[in-house]
Structure 1
């Protein structure tokens, strides 16, 4: 069986699909990806065929887009990113390529991440079953924003209108987070919850040798992910707030940012471009994060409490959820001071209920279906069509 996985260009979009792709290959299926040329180079480096679709945005365009996005109130950001970018220009640039690859390669099933839409339209146009992996927070209020934009593309390729937006998860919706973190009343009948899809080692990355030599102090890890890692002043505030605390502090800046930018640090502070979280988290006590879904789910999988400093995208929703369920503290944009970060970190380290709540979700995550079950759902989709509910 041939399976095509489609993704936006960012690593946070295609990383969650890698585990599914490898599990499908292990089950004997033929797998390929479709994404932008630059993303295809990274995906191919992980051993997969990748069909290039659309075009790469220049670094200057991406920087300007981030600047504009951060200038908007969070409530206004989706109205820009979803209909204008993800379901707008990205689809305009990639749809013809996606249709051509679909017709030529003829997959039995298409699997897309939830912010990639050309693959959805290709599957609908060719009559192929399709699944969607929710790589971000479940945000049903975004579906009309996407659906209205997609109707214009549907008309262009001869598809009927989709007024209730049901095509977004028509056949199978995979949500890699525990049911207790979801409003189940908002989920479609095709939804299935599965274990978080964590992929963070695209090469031979290992823990730095100095990690084994750290003193017996609480270990705090700070990251802002791969997209908003250069948000002005945030990493600087984290470092200033925590550098003099009786902890070991590890900060990763992202592969595109030089740690030397942050100047000399005391011996308890270590700044690196990148360390795989799957290697580091088992040694951590607290995670300071922007609240991206990948980092939040990885931390909960390891039972780690968090300080969440949301910046954009689904991060405010994830931050609010972390606070509501008691797994951490939230630093809102107006309060991103070193003092606030220091106080919140002390609180989470000293109060055991944060760790206990995070470990509760760790235990729940361990009971969720894994990749073998996910492969069976996809196989059944190819054979039988829409999958019955599985929450």
Structure 2
């Protein structure tokens, strides 16, 4: 029996797969503890998983979004700079202190952290005895590569191009200030400068567990040996998951379109949900199932062919969906592809341009290239996906690849390989007697 700490940035799309992993480790007889934001304590403990709460200075703030409909590399750079500061740099010290407190309280065999949980960087650089650290790829691979454009640009790679110089320019010029800020934070913690670019920090970990399949990533000739593709983390529907009162109405629907703006970037429905409802309102042969992700924003009039709810059990919905329209949340896209559902993606913040680009690169869907598509553009994209077979064939191919791998089994094997898959009998479970 092992003892594992799972630290997750307090964002729904990051906590959900980490919590699912924690639940699986617990089912295997291991002791687990989650470290994340206060909003997720109750859901964790409802599954029997003890949860420690991050302090306020370890929180992740929403970055301000530059206005405008069109997406460009300049706009993405400005957005990316804000996001690096608010999501990766500002929380480092607070996260590190919380992480250190947990490690001082209990002897863990390994620590899992999502790749945005940069409080792990000082832990990895401190040069002190520590448990194995496994970074978890809840977003597309961020690592710099000669074979891919810098992360965040949303550019599909060209096989005849070397991106080394472009990556160097991004690190040393465009994000030089952010790298210096990282170094300053590490010095304040009594450490030296960072040995790697901020977004490359997962290469410092013992393993980088990428929660997808190789088929959903770009080919890289310089992929570090520490990267392990686990396949998507299965997300089980809660036992108390309720179907809405209109669920039975879907049984007679020939074509179901699922629409979502995710659970994070969902405060402005004018971005995707309203344009899509407008675009498909005249398609009486379609049924649109929209999820608001718990947003409190007002949606306005709902067309006759649409149903709206906060969330739905995906394992029951996705097998019936013909196409999913999304702003590109990594977890939702992975779940759709597990069921062979082709995608239409409209997102331009955080990792969403990268996810959209990968969807288009694999042929599994369409990248609309903006977070604010016009209704006409959405309608054209839906017609393309429904009237041709190429997207469904590609998404079905990815689904078959995903079916060949079990994420939890892969992770279990990695823990055994690292010597962390069993309990150490020579150390106490807790140093201060506190129960799990």
What is the TM-score of this pair, normalised by structure 1? 0.87
Per the alignment, residue 171 of structure 1 pairs with: 206
CA contact (8 A) 2:63 2:86 kept: no
* 2-structure distance, mates of 1:12, 1:153: 27
Residues 197-235 of structure 1: CA deviation (Å, up to 9, x unaligned):
143645611333533332232100000101112235121
**Post-superposition shift, 1:56?**
7.3
Using a 3 Å threshold, how does the CA distance of structure 1 residues 379 and 280 change in structure 2: closer, same or farther? same
Out of 297, 300, 311, the position equivalent to 2:337 is: 300
Verify: 1:195 aligned to 2:198, yes or no. no
- C-alpha spacing 1:167/1:311, structure 2 compared with 1 (3 Å): closer
Q: Deviations over 1:108-161 (max 9, x none)?
A: 211100000114433554522100110001122469668655443433333444
Offset from partner CA, 1:364-387 (integer Å, 9 cap, x none): 111124312212212332459xxx
Displacement of 1:69:
5.7
Cα distance in 2, alignment partners of residues 69 and 369 from structure 1: 39
CA distance in structure 2 between the aligned counterparts of 1:41 and 1:158, rounded to whole angstroms: 35
Question: Which one has the bigger helix percentage?
Answer: 1
Q: How does 1:231-246 map to 2 (within 5 A)?
A: 231-233=268-270, 234-245=272-283, 246=285
- State the SS of the aligned residue for 2:383: helix
Query: Is residue 309 of structure 2 the alignment partner of residue 272 of structure 1?
Result: yes
For residue 313 of structure 1, report the CA deviation from its aligned partner.
1.1
Quick check: 1:47 aligned with 2:84? no
Measure, in 1, the Cα distance between the counterparts of 2:58 and 2:67: 18
Change (3 A) 1:157 1:381: farther
Unmatched tracts of structure 2, length 5 or more: 69-73, 144-149, 152-166, 422-436
Which residue number in structure 1 is paired with residue 83 of structure 2? 81
Residue of structure 2 in register with 1:356 after alignment: 393
2:347 is matched with which residue: 300, 310, 317?
310
Do 1:177 and 1:195's aligned partners in 2 also have CA atoms closer than 8 Å?
yes
Gap regions ≥5 residues in structure 1: 385-391
Q: What is the match of residue 158 of structure 1?
A: 190
Counterpart Cα distance in 2 of 1:119 and 1:28: 26
The equivalent of 2:296 in structure 1 is 257
Tell me how far apart the structure 2 counterparts of residues 279 and 120 of structure 1 sit (CA, whole Å). 39
Return the alpha-carbon distance in structure 1 between the equivalents of residues 8 and 399 of structure 2. Answer: 28
Q: Which residue of 2 aligns with 1:227?
A: 264
User: Which residue does the alignment assign to 2:215?
Assistant: 180
Residues 282-320 of structure 1: CA deviation (Å, up to 9, x unaligned): 111110011111111111111011111113111111111
Q: Residues 120 and 130 of structure 1 are in contact (CA less than 8 Å); yes or no, is this contact kept in structure 2?
A: no
Q: What does residue 434 of structure 2 align with?
A: none
Give 1:283's match in structure 2, choosing from 320, 324, 339: 320
- Whether the 8 Å contact between 1:70 and 1:312 is mirrored in structure 2 is no
CA RMSD of aligned residues (A): 2.7
TM-score by length of 2: 0.79
Spell out, residue by residue over 1:175-213, the C-alpha distance to the aligned partner (whole angstroms, 9 max, x if none).
111112223324211011012014364561133353333
